């Protein structure tokens, strides 16, 4: 289990040196057409994220955080602009190639956990490995390991409705990391949790960062963003600021 | 190899999910499967009935004999140009004698024996009871050579009784049962058209021809006795047994030639007789049979179609309900065909359950029919099981395809946002 959190101000802040470039977007826009009306969700965003970064995306509601996150996670393609993921041009990839990138390179954590309701934690965590084509024994071993890593070694055979919200989100984190992705993307991972449980999840993220994961978290709470090493602020589809967070 | 393994794992996962889904929505699945069950029951029962009719039909045709050619004035089956036949000279008993002679003088003839038969409907009376509508016919002792029928008791008249026109007869099974219930008819006397006939034999039960004409409602006597009671001028035909039924067509050609000689027909003149055979009957009745089969399968197929619509509907509902799950799966790396496969397997699973239960219901109904109405022509065969299972799978695939395809094409972002 995760040790009880020390006071926030004393969290030791390691900053791992940046690795190779993972995310490189240039001048990306995203339009949504709502009947006659056109919504500019992103108006020209450029962003580089390296391996070993721990970044928060902030901004008011409707500023385009989720849109940007979906784009980074290869769930969505830009209306214009370029996106290179690990050096590969993602904007021109087919649906199945994108699925493969999502499977191997990206771990998603959602605000609403998005676990399969009738499956055990273990099976939920195995899911990405099924799509990766791993044999059952290997899947089970890796899923177990991932669950132990988020402190749920004793909840493997529980179904989501037998778990607390925080535990559910831990299962989701284990699922996101089980295939050893290049990057972990979390869109308001604490949005459905009370502040104490949310803080615990953020401690887990800190720990995962220490272990060598690259993390991007969308949030509109300063307290959450403070865990990250870098924070960008979106406003009305544009990056307003991009700075390192410090104590 | 890797893709194959992945396909297998995804398949196994889809089956697992499908079962979990069906169990989680028991009532809904049962109701949907019910549509398929009704469809499969209707189709398989229709299948057994068609099979049964087919078998009954073939059995009936076998009664006509597959090695017997019928020389008659009229062809079997429908004709439009009746005026071409009506003026033909009737077949005479004398034709039979002349035909026999022609055949005897033909080296390597394919024809074995000629038997004249003259018959009509008549009532048959015993001392204290009578039956109407019996097919009474006269023939020669050679009839034994073309008819494969067995005897319950007694025998057919012999050559001497036949040519002497003795007043003897053989009864069909039902006639004997009606007139001499529970006792032997042998040695008894029946009256036909006022003439007494001594019973020397009773045929074994034969059954009905196409469910219309009973072969057990007949009485046979020597032709020379028959002609004393009834006119044979317009009611005679000839039955000719062939030696080798695999060469029926050549035998038929030979018979046509022989008959033309008997009739003294000139070259170029049209035959003034018809050679009928079981095969011709089949040619006439087969399209009817096929039409019945198609109509029956079409109508019952409609109920299966309704079942298929149920499957399609429930798959659409399932896709709608689980839109968010589809989005999640896509985010975790499920490709389009993975999602397609998952929903197809769900649809097929329900169909397979429906098909299996439907099959069992059909079989029970079939056993019930066999037990209650043994005369009803139904036939159940293993290939029917295979076919209906295939039908269920295909139904599942076809009806699940549209919703599953829709699911596989969902935009992951839209699916994830769905509430
Ligand atoms: N599928 C869509 N169709 C139409 N408009 C959309 C769609 N998705 C997002 N938008 C619009 O794009 C803008 C950005 O939305 P987005 O979800 O990225 O905001 P957000 O920053 O994540 O907000 P929140 O903090 O409330 O989650 C909003 O104005 C939204 O209405
Ligand atoms: Mg959002």
Q: What's the CA-to-centroid distance between A134 and ligand 1, angstroms?
A: 36
Give dist(CA B386, CA A93) in Å, integer: 44
Count other Cβ atoms within 10 Å, centred on residue B149: 19
Do residues B351 and B404 both lie within one domain? yes
The answer to whether residue A10 scores a pLDDT higher than 60 is no
Predicted pLDDT of residue B106: 87
Q: Lowest-pLDDT range, B178-182, B317-321, B404-408?
A: B178-182
CA-wise closest residue to B110 among B245, B241, B240, B251? B251
Q: Does the C-beta of A66 come closer than 6 Å to ligand 1?
A: yes
Mutating to test ligand 1, I would choose from A30, A40, A57, A66 the residue with most ligand atoms within 8 A of its C-beta, which is A66
Question: Looking at per-residue confidence, does B66 or A125 come out higher?
Answer: A125
Q: Hey, are the CB atoms on A131 and B333 less than 8 Å from each other?
A: yes
Do residues B81 and B187 both lie within one domain? yes
Q: Does the C-beta of A64 come closer than 6 Å to ligand 1?
A: yes
Instruction: Give, using CA atoms, the residue closest to atom 28 of ligand 1.
Output: A62
Residue B45's pLDDT band, with cuts at 50, 70 and 90, is confident
Residue B101 tokens, joined: 């002679």
The answer to whether residue A96 scores a pLDDT higher than 70 is yes
Q: What digits encode the pLDDT tens for the residues B262-298?
A: 888 888 888 889 888 877 777 777 888 889 889 988 9
Do residues B103 and B18 both lie within one domain? no
For β-strands B130-139 and B111-125, DSSP reports them as: antiparallel
The answer to whether residue B62 scores a pLDDT higher than 90 is no
The answer to whether residue B29 scores a pLDDT higher than 90 is yes
CA-wise closest residue to A172 among A139, A127, A142, A140? A127
Backbone torsion region of residue A83, taken as left when φ is above 0, otherwise alpha when ψ lies between -120 and 50, otherwise beta: beta
Q: What digits encode the pLDDT tens for the residues B319-340?
A: 999 999 999 999 999 999 999 9
**How is B225-290 classified by DSSP, letter by letter?**
HHHHHS--SSSEEEEEEES-GGGHHHHHHHHHHHHHHHHTPPTTSPPSSEEEEHHHHHHHHHHHHH
Do residues B244 and B372 both lie within one domain? no
Do residues B230 and B246 both lie within one domain? yes
Q: Does the C-beta of A214 come closer than 6 Å to ligand 1?
A: no
The answer to whether residue B155 scores a pLDDT higher than 60 is yes
The residue extents of the domains of chain A are: 21-244
Do residues B301 and B201 both lie within one domain? no
DSSP state letter for A2: P
The answer to whether residue A247 scores a pLDDT higher than 60 is no
Residue from B318, B332, B334, B336 whose CB has the most chain A CBs within 10 Å, to mutate = B332
Q: What's the CA-to-centroid distance between A9 and ligand 1, angstroms?
A: 34
Mutating to test ligand 1, I would choose from A63, A218, A233, A238 the residue with most ligand atoms within 8 A of its C-beta, which is A63
CA-wise closest residue to B296 among B44, B34, B38? B44
CA distance A41 to chain B (A): 14
DSSP H helices in chain A: 65-72, 95-105, 121-132, 136-149, 165-177, 195-210, 222-225
Phi, psi (degrees; rounded to nearest 5) at B194: 90, -10
Predicted pLDDT of residue A2: 56
**How is B54-84 classified by DSSP, letter by letter?**
HHHHHHHHHHH-TTEEEEESS-SS--S-THH
Confidence (pTM): 0.76
Residue from A75, A100, A137 whose CB has the most chain B CBs within 10 Å, to mutate = A75
Instruction: Give, using CA atoms, the residue closest to atom 17 of ligand 1.
Output: A66
Terminus-to-terminus CA distance in chain A, angstroms? 27
Q: At B291, is the secondary structure helix, strand, or coil?
A: helix
Q: Is A67 exposed, middle or buried (0-12, 13-18, 19+ CB in 10 A)?
A: buried
- Residue that terminates a domain, selected from B227, B242, B277: B277
Instruction: Give, using CA atoms, the residue closest to atom 26 of ligand 1.
Output: A61
Residue A17 tokens, joined: 């040196």
Radius of gyration for the alpha carbons in chain B, expressed in angstroms and rounded: 33
Q: Does the C-beta of A30 come closer than 6 Å to ligand 1?
A: no
Number of structural domains found in chain B: 2
Do residues B168 and B44 both lie within one domain? no
CA-wise closest residue to B346 among B397, B407, B389? B397
Query: Measured between alpha carbons, how far is residue B346 from residues B111, B358, B390 in Å?
Result: 64, 18, 16
- Residue that terminates a domain, selected from B259, B277, B295: B277
For β-strands A37-50 and B236-242, DSSP reports them as: unpaired
- Residue that terminates a domain, selected from B245, B277, B309: B277
Q: What's the CA-to-centroid distance between A188 and ligand 1, angstroms?
A: 14
Q: Are A123 and A107 in contact (CB under 8 A)?
A: no
DSSP state letter for B333: T
Closest ligand to Cα A58 = 1
Could you tell me which CATH class the domain A21-244 is placed in?
alpha beta
Residue A6's pLDDT band, with cuts at 50, 70 and 90, is low
Q: What digits encode the pLDDT tens for the residues A169-191?
A: 999 999 999 999 999 999 999 99
Residue A5's pLDDT band, with cuts at 50, 70 and 90, is low
* Average pLDDT rounded to a whole number, residues B12-21: 91
The predicted complex's ipTM stands at 0.93
The answer to whether residue A111 scores a pLDDT higher than 70 is yes
Do residues B138 and B251 both lie within one domain? yes
Predicted pLDDT of residue B318: 94
Q: Does the C-beta of A60 come closer than 6 Å to ligand 1?
A: no
Chain A hits for B11, CB-CB cut-off 8 Å, are none
The answer to whether residue A31 scores a pLDDT higher than 80 is yes
Count other Cβ atoms within 10 Å, centred on residue A15: 13
Residue B127's pLDDT band, with cuts at 50, 70 and 90, is confident
Give dist(CA B307, CA B321) in Å, integer: 21
Nearest atom within ligand 1 for CA of residue A65: 21
The answer to whether residue A106 scores a pLDDT higher than 80 is yes
Give dist(CA A168, CA A174) in Å, integer: 10
**% of chain A residues with pLDDT over 90:** 85
The answer to whether residue B356 scores a pLDDT higher than 90 is yes
Predicted pLDDT of residue B213: 67
**% of chain B residues with pLDDT over 90:** 42
Query: What mean pLDDT is reported for chain A?
Result: 92
Do residues B141 and B13 both lie within one domain? no
Do residues B225 and B296 both lie within one domain? no
Terminus-to-terminus CA distance in chain B, angstroms? 39
Q: Are B317 and B343 in contact (CB under 8 A)?
A: no
Residue B3's pLDDT band, with cuts at 50, 70 and 90, is confident
Q: What digits encode the pLDDT tens for the residues B200-242?
A: 999 988 876 666 667 788 999 999 999 888 888 877 889 999 9
Question: Looking at per-residue confidence, does B15 or B76 come out higher?
Answer: B15
Predicted pLDDT of residue A139: 95
Predicted pLDDT of residue A59: 94
Query: Measured between alpha carbons, how far is residue A200 from residues A7, A169, A212, B3, B313 in Å?
Result: 12, 10, 19, 39, 44
Q: What's the CA-to-centroid distance between A198 and ligand 1, angstroms?
A: 23
Give dist(CA B67, CA A218) in Å, integer: 90
In three-state form (DSSP H/G/I as H, E/B as E, the rest C), the secondary structure along B24-59 is: HCHHHHHHHHHHHHHHHHHHHHHHHHHHHHHHHHHH
Closest ligand to Cα A63 = 1
Q: Is B36 exposed, middle or buried (0-12, 13-18, 19+ CB in 10 A)?
A: buried
Residue B66's pLDDT band, with cuts at 50, 70 and 90, is confident
Q: Does the C-beta of A120 come closer than 6 Å to ligand 1?
A: no
CB contact set of A222 (below 8 Å; sequence gap of 6+): A58
Chain B hits for A135, CB-CB cut-off 8 Å, are 5, 9
Mutating to test ligand 1, I would choose from A29, A32, A56, A221 the residue with most ligand atoms within 8 A of its C-beta, which is A32
Do residues B224 and B125 both lie within one domain? yes
Q: Name the residue with tokens 């919200």.
A: A165
Q: At B122, is the secondary structure helix, strand, or coil?
A: strand
* Average pLDDT rounded to a whole number, residues B8-30: 92
Query: What mean pLDDT is reported for chain B?
Result: 88
Q: Hey, are the CB atoms on B10 and A131 less than 8 Å from each other?
A: yes
CA-wise closest residue to A191 among A114, A118, A119, A76? A114
Give dist(CA A121, CA A155) in Å, integer: 7
The answer to whether residue B404 scores a pLDDT higher than 90 is yes
Range of the domain at B362: 2-60+283-416
Q: Does the C-beta of A61 come closer than 6 Å to ligand 1?
A: yes
Q: What's the CA-to-centroid distance between A64 and ligand 2, angstroms?
A: 7
The answer to whether residue B248 scores a pLDDT higher than 70 is yes
Predicted pLDDT of residue B388: 84
Give dist(CA B238, CA B111) in Å, integer: 13
Q: Are A215 and A54 in contact (CB under 8 A)?
A: yes
CA distance B58 to chain A (A): 56
Q: Hey, are the CB atoms on B333 and A104 less than 8 Å from each other?
A: yes
Give dist(CA A119, CA A126) in Å, integer: 10
Backbone torsion region of residue B198, taken as left when φ is above 0, otherwise alpha when ψ lies between -120 and 50, otherwise beta: beta
Do residues B28 and B92 both lie within one domain? no
Count other Cβ atoms within 10 Å, centred on residue A152: 23
The answer to whether residue A9 scores a pLDDT higher than 60 is no
Count other Cβ atoms within 10 Å, centred on residue B373: 10
Chain A hits for B9, CB-CB cut-off 8 Å, are 130, 133-136
């Amino acid at each position: 289990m995760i040790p009880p959190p020390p006071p926030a101000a004393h969290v030791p802040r390691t900053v791992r040196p940046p690795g190779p470039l993972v995310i490189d977007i240039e001048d990306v826009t995203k339009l949504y057409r709502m009947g006659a009306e056109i919504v500019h969700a992103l108006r020209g965003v450029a962003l580089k994220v390296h391996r070993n970064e721990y970044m928060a995306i902030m901004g008011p509601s409707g500023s385009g955080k989720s849109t940007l996150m979906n784009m980074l996670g290869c769930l969505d393609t830009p209306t214009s602009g370029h996106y290179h993921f690990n050096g590969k041009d993602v904007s021109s990839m087919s649906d199945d190639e994108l699925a493969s990138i999502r499977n191997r390179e990206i771990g998603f954590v959602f605000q609403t956990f998005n676990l399969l309701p009738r499956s055990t934690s273990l099976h939920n965590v195995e899911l990405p490995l099924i799509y990766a084509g791993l044999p059952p024994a290997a899947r089970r071993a890796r899923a177990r390991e991932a669950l132990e890593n988020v402190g749920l070694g004793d909840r493997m055979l529980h179904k989501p409705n037998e778990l607390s919200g925080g535990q559910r989100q831990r299962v989701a984190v284990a699922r996101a990391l089980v295939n050893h992705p290049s990057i972990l993307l979390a869109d308001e991972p604490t949005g459905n949790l009370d502040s104490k449980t949310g803080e615990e999840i953020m401690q887990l993220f800190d720990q995962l960062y220490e272990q060598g994961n690259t993390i991007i978290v969308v949030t509109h709470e300063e307290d959450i963003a403070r865990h990250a090493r870098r924070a960008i602020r979106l406003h009305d589809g544009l990056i307003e600021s991009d700075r390192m967070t410090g104590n | 190899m890797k893709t194959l393994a992945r396909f297998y794992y995804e398949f196994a996962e889809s089956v697992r999910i499908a079962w979990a889904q069906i169990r989680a929505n028991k009532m809904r699945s049962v109701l949907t499967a019910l549509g398929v069950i009704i469809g499969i029951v209707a189709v398989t029962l229709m299948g057994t009935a068609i099979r049964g009719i087919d078998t009954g039909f073939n059995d009936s045709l076998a009664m006509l004999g597959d090695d017997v050619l019928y020389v008659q004035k009229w062809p079997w089956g429908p004709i439009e140009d009746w005026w071409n036949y009506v003026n033909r000279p009737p077949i005479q008993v004398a034709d039979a004698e002349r035909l026999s002679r022609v055949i005897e003088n033909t080296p390597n003839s394919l024809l074995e024996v000629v038997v004249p038969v003259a018959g009509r409907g008549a009532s048959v009376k015993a001392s204290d009871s009578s039956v109407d509508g019996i097919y009474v016919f006269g023939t020669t002792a050679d009839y034994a050579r073309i008819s494969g029928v067995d005897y319950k008791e007694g025998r057919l008249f012999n050559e001497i009784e036949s040519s002497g026109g003795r007043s003897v007869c053989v009864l069909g099974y039902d006639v004997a049962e009606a007139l001499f219930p529970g006792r032997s008819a042998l040695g008894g006397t029946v009256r036909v058209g006022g003439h007494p006939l001594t019973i020397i034999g009773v045929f074994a039960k034969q059954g009905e021809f196409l469910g219309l004409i009973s072969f057990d409602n007949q009485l046979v006597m020597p032709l020379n006795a028959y002609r004393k009671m009834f006119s044979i001028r317009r009611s005679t035909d000839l039955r000719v047994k062939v030696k080798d039924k695999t060469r029926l067509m050549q035998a038929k050609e030979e018979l046509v030639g022989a008959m033309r000689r008997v009739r003294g027909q000139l070259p170029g003149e049209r035959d003034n007789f018809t050679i009928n055979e079981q095969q011709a009957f089949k040619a006439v009745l087969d399209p009817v049979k096929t039409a019945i089969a198609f109509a029956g399968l079409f109508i019952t197929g409609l109920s299966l179609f309704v079942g298929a619509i149920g499957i399609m509907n429930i798959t659409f509902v399932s896709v709608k309900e689980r839109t968010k799950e589809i989005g999640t799966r896509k985010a975790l790396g499920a490709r389009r065909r993975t999602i397609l496969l998952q929903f197809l397997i769900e649809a097929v699973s329900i169909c397979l359950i429906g098909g299996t239960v439907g099959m069992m219901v059909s079989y029970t109904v079939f056993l019930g029919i066999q037990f209650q109405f043994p005369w009803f022509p139904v036939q159940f065969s293993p290939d029917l099981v295979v076919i209906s299972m295939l039908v269920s799978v295909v139904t599942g695939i076809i009806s699940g395809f549209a919703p599953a395809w829709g699911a596989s094409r969902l935009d992951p972002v839209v699916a994830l946002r769905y509430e």
